[in-house]
């Protein structure tokens, strides 16, 4: 597969050949503004420069607490969406050719209290301590001048310190244990609910990096292995430490297996630590209650006995979990499958000669037969009662159905993922926010269940993002890609859509269709949360699988 590569020249002194500007100079942000400007954004990046000349206020709504900012999707109908695809992004890249930028996003940034739509912002990310505010102001002015040429007078420009990061972390990020408290076991010793649920934490045997299990696939028409079950995740999570530019194909003739463990080593270790810590705390609580029972008044006795009974019940559940996890401590008991194919980690050639391709970052796992629950593997997303109510509320207020859909409210606590969202629909399923009158503010609502974040909700942006991949090509070349961008859901904007450990997680819409898998995001260097999440489209992954000879369908 060929790649689209843009080669940058070496860094030169401050940003030559900028367009001539007549804008008045702005003050550089002070320390309070640098650290407080993005208060409320999940990773709270530091401000470098901005085009908006209004003085910054930490309390713009006269509240006793700082007002939290939010990220909101840009509607596809905004003029910048068409201009972006028609060449605007290349002019912005040209301005940044001597700057080590990380990402370029086009988003709305404002406050929940805003009565009108917040402004559209050309949001440029740069590495920590790599750009002064003085030079940042020059870049911002140059970008604003280009935006004016496109008559985008309402679009602002801001630069913040943030990094693009793949979402497979070191073991310092603790994954969430997603197995149910009660489990029906499959033949291989795995709970059937665990096997059927994407989003579990996985890792390559012998590696400390872990990611998330993506959607299951089954053999399609013409596949000779009709009984095979597969799963998708990110290559950088399934094959960490390997040469990213190498093509990987498992051959049956004696080639060592790249075994995938489920749950991951980090999950088992972290959960056992939490169980032991919880047991120590509960032991102290039980002793305290027993002492109080010896001297309590009669009217207090029943309440204390109920508390003691609840602690005993929690202890029994904890012992069941500890028994299950202890059985999984040996790695050989957790071998879930092995990697069978993974293309080189690179940027695909764009179908549009004037555009950029997306990053190719996926690996196919063949699930071992003994780990399947009677061959009935499906992509079930399980909801807790409060989550089911939240989903139905979003369906009523925030989702406009495709004319051909057969969508209905959730009557059960599960959602089955059964097909992929076509690429040409990704900017169709939008609906206005209920408290805003504008008819053209539109977005796609999506969910994700990741090994680290659990269940989260987000909004698909109407403008794709530019990402710089420093490690995708050898030498001094850097590769730029154009990625589908997902922002946190407006009502939960302080919670990131994804974090470290969510690589490979399935992103789905509320009709049970798979948008793609998480491969990375942008945010502050030392924060696990991502302000913006980038997603590889499922239709592109399916196309790549077919090109590599794997006829598969979503299970």
442 and 418 fall within a common domain: yes
CA 135 – CA 143 distance, rounded (Å): 13
**DSSP assignment, residue 86?**
I
pLDDT band at 243 (very low <50, low <70, confident <90, very high): confident
- Answer yes or no: is pLDDT of 122 > 50: yes
Average pLDDT in the chain: 80
254 and 341 fall within a common domain: yes
Would you say residue 17 lies in a domain?
no
383 and 355 fall within a common domain: yes
pTM to 2 decimals? 0.84
219 and 273 fall within a common domain: no
Domain's final residue, options 290, 305, 327: 327
Residue 414 near residue 383, CB atoms below 8 Å: yes
CA 333 – CA 323 distance, rounded (Å): 13
- Answer yes or no: is pLDDT of 137 > 60: yes
**DSSP assignment, residue 502?**
-
Q: Give 254 or 191, the one with higher predicted confidence.
A: 254
pLDDT band at 493 (very low <50, low <70, confident <90, very high): low
Give the least confident one: 120-124, 219-223, 510-514: 219-223
- 335 forms beta bridges with 261
Place of tokens 């972390």: 169
Strands (E), 174-305: 201-204, 211-212, 216-219, 229-233, 248-249, 259-261
Residue 528 near residue 169, CB atoms below 8 Å: yes
319 and 357 fall within a common domain: no
What are 334-392's pLDDT values in tens digits?
898 999 999 999 999 887 777 789 999 999 999 987 766 555 677 888 887 777 777 77
Would you say residue 183 lies in a domain?
no
**Would you tell me how many other CB atoms lie within 10 Å of the CB of residue 400?**
15
472 and 381 fall within a common domain: yes
pLDDT band at 286 (very low <50, low <70, confident <90, very high): confident
Range of the domain at 80: 31-162
Residue 272 has what pLDDT? 79
Would you say residue 25 lies in a domain?
no
403 and 318 fall within a common domain: no
283 and 369 fall within a common domain: no
Query: Which candidate, 440, 423, 429, 427, places its Cα nearest to that of 394?
Result: 429
343 and 365 fall within a common domain: yes
Would you say residue 281 lies in a domain?
yes
Q: Count structural domains, the chain.
A: 3
Would you say residue 363 lies in a domain?
yes
Domain's final residue, options 162, 184, 206: 162
Does residue 33 come out as left (phi exceeding 0), alpha (psi in the -120 to 50 range) or beta? alpha
**Which three-class secondary structure state does DSSP give residue 336?**
strand
**Cα 519 → chain centroid:** 7
CA 260 – CA 541 distance, rounded (Å): 20
Residues written for the chain: 555
**Which three-class secondary structure state does DSSP give residue 286?**
helix
**Would you tell me how many other CB atoms lie within 10 Å of the CB of residue 89?**
23
Residue 116 has what pLDDT? 86
344 and 228 fall within a common domain: yes
Would you say residue 177 lies in a domain?
no
Residue 76 has what pLDDT? 83
**What is the distance in angstroms between the CA of the first residue and the CA of the last residue of the chain?**
27
323 and 342 fall within a common domain: no
Share of the chain above pLDDT 90, in %: 39
Residue 98 near residue 12, CB atoms below 8 Å: yes
The highest-confidence range among 221-235, 243-257, 356-370, by mean pLDDT, is 356-370
Residue 338 near residue 257, CB atoms below 8 Å: yes
pLDDT band at 479 (very low <50, low <70, confident <90, very high): confident
495 and 477 fall within a common domain: yes
Would you say residue 125 lies in a domain?
yes
Residue 50 near residue 137, CB atoms below 8 Å: no
Residue 154 near residue 120, CB atoms below 8 Å: yes
Would you say residue 22 lies in a domain?
no
Domain's final residue, options 145, 162, 179: 162
- Answer yes or no: is pLDDT of 258 > 90: yes
């Amino acid at each position: 597969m060929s790649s689209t590569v843009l080669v940058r020249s070496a860094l030169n002194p401050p940003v030559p050949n900028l367009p001539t500007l007549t804008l008045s100079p702005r003050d550089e942000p002070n320390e309070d503004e640098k650290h407080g400007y993005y208060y409320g954004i999940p990773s709270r990046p530091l401000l470098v420069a901005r085009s908006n000349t209004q003085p910054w206020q930490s309390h713009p709504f006269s509240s006793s607490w700082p007002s939290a900012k939010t990220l909101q999707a840009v509607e596809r109908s905004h003029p910048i969406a068409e201009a972006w695809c028609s060449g605007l992004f290349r002019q912005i890249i040209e301005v940044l050719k001597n700057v080590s930028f990380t990402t370029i996003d086009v988003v709305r940034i404002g406050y929940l209290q805003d009565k009108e739509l917040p402004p559209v912002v050309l949001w440029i990310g740069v590495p920590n301590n790599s750009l002064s505010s003085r030079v940042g102001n020059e870049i911002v002015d140059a970008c604003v001048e280009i935006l004016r040429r496109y008559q985008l007078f309402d679009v602002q420009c801001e630069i913040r310190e943030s990094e693009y990061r793949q979402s497979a972390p070191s073991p310092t990020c603790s994954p969430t244990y997603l197995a149910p408290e009660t489990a029906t076991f499959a033949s291989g010793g795995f709970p059937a609910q665990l096997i059927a649920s994407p989003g579990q934490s996985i890792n390559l045997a012998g590696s400390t990096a872990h990611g998330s299990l993506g959607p299951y696939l089954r053999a399609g028409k013409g596949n000779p292995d009709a009984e095979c079950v597969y799963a998708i995740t990110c290559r950088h999570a399934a094959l960490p430490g390997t040469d990213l530019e190498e093509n990987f194909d498992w051959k049956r003739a004696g080639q060592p297996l790249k075994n995938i463990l489920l749950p991951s080593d980090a999950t088992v270790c972290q959960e056992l630590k939490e169980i032991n810590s919880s047991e120590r705390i509960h032991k102290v609580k039980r002793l305290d209650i027993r002492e109080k029972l010896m001297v309590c008044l009669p009217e207090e006795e029943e309440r204390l006995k109920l508390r003691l009974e609840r602690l005993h019940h929690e202890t029994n559940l904890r012992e069941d979990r500890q028994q299950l996890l202890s059985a999984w401590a040996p790695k050989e008991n957790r071998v879930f499958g092995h990697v069978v194919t993974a293309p080189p980690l690179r940027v695909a050639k764009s179908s549009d000669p004037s555009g950029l391709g997306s990053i190719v970052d996926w690996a196919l796992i063949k699930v071992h037969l003994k780990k399947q629950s009677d061959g009935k593997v499906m992509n079930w997303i399980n909801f807790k009662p409060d989550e089911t109510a939240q989903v139905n509320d979003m369906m009523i207020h925030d989702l406009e159905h495709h004319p051909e859909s057969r969508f209905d409210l959730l009557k059960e606590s599960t959602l089955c993922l059964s097909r992929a969202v076509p690429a040409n629909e990704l900017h169709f399923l939008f609906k206005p926010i209920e408290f805003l009158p504008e008819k053209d503010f539109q977005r796609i609502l999506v969910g994700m269940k990741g090994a680290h974040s659990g269940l989260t909700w987000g909004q698909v942006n109407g403008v794709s993002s530019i990402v710089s991949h420093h490690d995708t090509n050898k030498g001094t070349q850097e590769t730029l890609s154009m990625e589908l961008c997902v922002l946190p859901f407006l009502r939960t904007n302080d919670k990131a859509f994804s974090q470290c450990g969510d690589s490979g997680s399935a992103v789905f819409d509320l009709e049970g269709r798979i948008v793609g898998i998480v491969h990375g995001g942008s945010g502050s260097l030392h924060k696990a949360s991502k302000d913006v999440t980038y997603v590889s489209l499922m239709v592109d992954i399916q196309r790549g699988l077919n090109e590599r000879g794997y006829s598969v369908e979503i299970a």
